[in-house]
Amino acid sequence: MDATSTSAGPARRIVVTGAASGIGAALAERLTGAGHEVLGVDRDTDGVPSGTTPVRCDLTDPAATAAAVERIAVVGGIDGLAAVAGVPGTAPAAVVHAVNVLGLRRFTEAVAPSIRPGGAVVLLSSMAGYRGTATDDQAAHLLDLDDDTLAAELGALGLDGPEAYQLSKQLVHHYTTRLAARLHPAGVRVLSVSPGPVETPILADFRATMPSLDVASDLVGRNARADEIATILDFLLSPGASWLNGIDVRADGGLGALRTVGAPARGV
């Protein structure tokens, strides 16, 4: 794996959640390898790459989140946040909501005031978010709610784990748009990234809840590697992506095009 960061220039300070495995660990490794300072947030920090400052945090726990953010604030201003941590649809719906929506939003909102002008927030979403069934008005209503009311309303929907996962990532798309507009005056960009299937430790969980996952992998020819998605996150966090803001980047290896147009014969 080439761990050279695409983000050349002066060293920056980046916070990465989910830094102990998968895409988060690959991103932390790329950034530290390029000389950037990385604070790696995870519930279990044993897998955080060497050279990354570990910050233990259970994103479902508001008190733990506040303590982690306070620790981050002590080091001074930051230049970016990559919110990579998430759970798959094999988890109970309440856990999916707690991590992928409530925990992501709570942590991001707490860290955002420390991001310096020119910095960026990148939220990891999923192509599954495009299968979420909420209307724009429903998504806006949910995101207008405080944490306790949002948790109650999400729970009242009665979704199973996979359906909760799709909605959670759909809400990340909507949250990206509104946060980008809100942070624009501060000179901070906000984007999301939606991968298709990725070779990570939780791929088996996705396979168990998404029957079409292997069909998608076969159509594209393989799954993405964690470092390939990390490379995209790395670029979006960097000054080189300064004119990208408020959008979702579909990192699907061409899956959408192949589904729309049809796959050509191999080698064509």
Query: What are the residue numbers of the active site?
Result: 165
Query: Residue 265: what are its φ and ψ, rounded to 5°?
Result: -60, 145
Query: Residue 255: what are its φ and ψ, rounded to 5°?
Result: -55, -45
In angstroms, how far is CA 196 from the centroid of its own chain?
A: 13
Instruction: Kindly list the distances between the CA atom of residue 244 and the CA atoms of 29, 120, 235, 237, 261, in Å, as whole numbers in the listed order.
Output: 24, 10, 10, 10, 27
Q: In which residue are the tokens 């050349």 written?
A: 8
CA dist 67 and 79 (Å) reads 20
CA dist 236 and 233 (Å) reads 5
Listed in order, strand segments (DSSP E) in 57-200 are: 78-83, 115-124, 189-195, 198-199
Tokens standing for residue 206: 């996705």
In angstroms, how far is CA 268 from the centroid of its own chain?
A: 34
In angstroms, how far is CA 197 from the centroid of its own chain?
A: 14
Instruction: Kindly list the distances between the CA atom of residue 96 and the CA atoms of 53, 131, 190, in Å, as whole numbers in the listed order.
Output: 26, 16, 22
